[in-house]
Structure 1
């Protein structure tokens, strides 16, 4: 049986099963603690019956800075999934979906326009997962990832900026059907 709860700082000592996946970004301790301090309701963990962390999601709410307001790349108030990971032995149990739904509920409560995330263009499993949950590609961020896990000699790997509208975006203004045709540079992304 899996239970879900808010992240606690001592959970950092129990993330290793989740963070061993090469597609999971691992951050320094201060980064995790910053999310805990600023957005505690958007940082959730999944625990198995023995108390092992078998998944987590960390997110935030934000908008582009005011000076960016007149840019075509301006982002209004939204929620962002910074990391979602599930330990290999706990996959295909719906844990990722439940964690994502919890973050989406937090986005609704914060009156965000949409939830977005970045995913490697080569991560087909994750892309299918998010598409199955109603996310779509909004744009391609060229060379977003500084490393290319498939070819270390290549330039950075592209990312899909995927989005799912919330109830606030009644006109669906912040999503598009042809997102794979819209390319931007990393500096265009806040």
Structure 2
């Protein structure tokens, strides 16, 4: 899934990239990337793009939830996602470790796995209230 927001002048304002994945019991949408160009922030474009991905995940693919990973230090993005109805499902230790960006060639920053239930999950079984307390290793995340 991919959706772009383009200005009438042709300038790219933002995009979301996602996919449908999982097994039958946890089939879901996944946000791979979301970005909005600085000149177009605070115009609800991120909300519009996320709504598109959620609608496709729900109506076309019949997913149970949508998930995404975000750096634990990215408070602006976390606030955005929480405002859209996402909650922390778990904290993944050293999720970004495979990117090789930090000191000594390794980025060891943790990520929050955030989720939002869709219409196939009316009892909200795909989320949990204490997700920030659930800590797993990056090796445990598929």
TM-score normalised per structure 1? 0.69
C-alpha distance in 2, partners of 1:94/1:171?
28
Q: Are 2:14 and 1:55 equivalent residues in the alignment?
A: yes
- The change in CA–CA distance for 1:148 and 1:97 in structure 2 (over 3 A counts) is farther
Q: SS of the counterpart of 1:145?
A: helix
Cα deviations by residue, 1:64-95 (Å, 9 ceiling, x for unpaired)? 5x9xxxxxxxx710000000000111100010
Q: How many pairs were matched up?
A: 139
RMSD after superposition: 1.8
C-alpha distance in 1, partners of 2:100/2:36?
22
C-alpha distance in 1, partners of 2:83/2:122?
20
* Residue segments in structure 1 that go unaligned for 5+ positions in a row: 1-41, 67-74
TM-score normalised per structure 2? 0.91
Q: Are 2:46 and 1:46 equivalent residues in the alignment?
A: no
Q: Are 2:67 and 1:116 equivalent residues in the alignment?
A: yes
- The change in CA–CA distance for 1:183 and 1:165 in structure 2 (over 3 A counts) is same
Shift of 1:134: 0.3
Q: Are 2:46 and 1:87 equivalent residues in the alignment?
A: no
Query: Is the 8 Å Cα contact of residues 148 and 157 (structure 1) preserved in structure 2?
Result: no
Query: Is the 8 Å Cα contact of residues 57 and 100 (structure 1) preserved in structure 2?
Result: yes
Shift of 1:152: 3.4
- The change in CA–CA distance for 1:155 and 1:83 in structure 2 (over 3 A counts) is closer
The higher relative CO (CA closer than 8 Å, separation ≥ 6) is in 2
Shift of 1:182: 0.3
Q: SS of the counterpart of 1:108?
A: helix
Q: Are 2:94 and 1:143 equivalent residues in the alignment?
A: yes
Q: Select the structure of larger CA radius of gyration.
A: 1
